[in-house]
Amino acid sequence: DTEVTQTPKHLVMGMTNKKSLKCEQHMGHRAMYWYKQKAKKPPELMFVYSYEKLSINESVPSRFSPECPNSSLLNLHLHALQPEDSALYLCASSQAFTVYEQYFGPGTRLTVT
């Protein structure tokens, strides 16, 4: 079972709102990732958690705040976003950070108004 789940599927938020994206996997994977994907572009890495610790932050603005409450869950907290942050936000997981086969969740389509 290579399933990663994400909620919500769609999210519309104003620039002053605070919202959170959630990701869950039950494959026993110890590395989890957040990517951002704009239309007709490849995914861009935002954050990597390895064994529940933040390993990589790709200089993402502080209005995006990741959290890894346990080995199965990954959250992305959003605050004061800009319209240009509208994108598909993808969560992925792999067995470990050094195991490179990453499996993506279905994504959250975010629109910032």
97 binds another protein (CB under 8 A): yes
Cβ contact 61:80 at 8 Å: no
Looking at the Cβ atoms of 10 and 16, the one nearer to another protein is 10
Looking at the Cβ atoms of 67 and 103, the one nearer to another protein is 103
Quick one: which segment of 10-18, 36-44, 68-76, 78-86 binds another protein (CB under 8 A)?
36-44
Q: Is 74 helix (H, G, I), strand (E, B) or coil?
A: strand
Q: How far is the C-alpha of 109 from the C-alpha of 46, rounded, in Å? A: 16
Q: Which two tokens stand for residue 34?
A: 């957040």
75 binds another protein (CB under 8 A): no
What number of CA atoms fall less than 13 Å from residue 64's CA on the CB side?
A: 19
Sequence-separated (6 or more) residues with CB below 8 Å from residue 42: none
Looking at the Cβ atoms of 84 and 100, the one nearer to another protein is 100
45 binds another protein (CB under 8 A): yes
Near another protein by CB under 8 A: residue from 29, 34, 76, 105? 105
103 binds another protein (CB under 8 A): yes
- Region of residue 107 (left: phi > 0; alpha: psi -120 to 50; beta: else): left
Residues binding another protein (CB under 8 A): 2, 40-43, 45, 48, 56, 88, 90, 97-98, 100-107
